[in-house]
Amino acid sequence: MPHIITKIDRAVPADIEALSRFGSATIHEAQGRLGALTSRIKPIDRNMALCGPAFTVQSSPRDNIMLQLAIHYAQAGDVIVVSAGEYEEAGSFGDVLGNACLAKGIAGLVTDTGVRDTLSLIRLGLPVFSLSICIKGTVKETLGQINGEIVVGGQVIRPGDVIRGDADGVVTTRREDAAEIAVKCAAREAEEARFIEDYKAGRTIIDVCNLDAVLKAKGLTTDL
């Protein structure tokens, strides 16, 4: 298998757009509580958000040569997703590479290692989600793979799968399931909106969530 695969099947743009309307938590719940990356991976600024097809990178810890190559080969709208061994003590991405990503129209970065130059990256406006913030530099020594199946944050991610990140975290959706999950997200949000209106109208949580039978079955007692 070549080190770099450039031809991948990306999720349908309309499906990506549909999923981008929903938060990461909603997508996670709508697809059966699946796809959530570890909660340790967070945006460097909580106002950052991204949604796009995964452009996957298998890298070695403290080495960013494959990340640099991914920036070269990625297309506009792609989210570069890096598996680097969950190594926190390395700053593998900073403002210079951030500018390179912006120049190409790359939608953002998700990595299970560290990044640096965070104030500059925040000013750039490039969404960056990382395991850590670390000032320690990296080398460019070890070849890995671009656009193979990787594991990041405990989730298997394939090239072209949809990556959605926001203030709450990052979730992945299989590209072939994206349209169906977007429909389920819409249904879930509609149901939650009804719950909110019921609460505003004075209904209780036990009533709205149909908890009475469940609580009785569990033997809940109160002093009422």
Query: What pTM does this model have?
Result: 0.95
Cβ atoms of residues 98 and 107 within 8 Å: no
State the Cα–Cα distance between residues 196 and 25, nearest whole angstrom: 17
**15-72 confidence digits (pLDDT tens):** 999 999 999 999 999 999 999 999 999 999 999 999 999 999 999 999 999 999 999 9
Going from the N-terminus, what domains does the chain have, and what CATH number goes with each?
13-182 (3.50.30.40)
**159-181 confidence digits (pLDDT tens):** 999 999 999 999 999 999 999 99
Q: What are phi and psi of 165, to 5 degrees?
A: -130, 145
Match 């999950």 to its residue by tokens.
181
What CA–CA distances, in Å, run from 92 to 2, 82, 117? 23, 10, 10
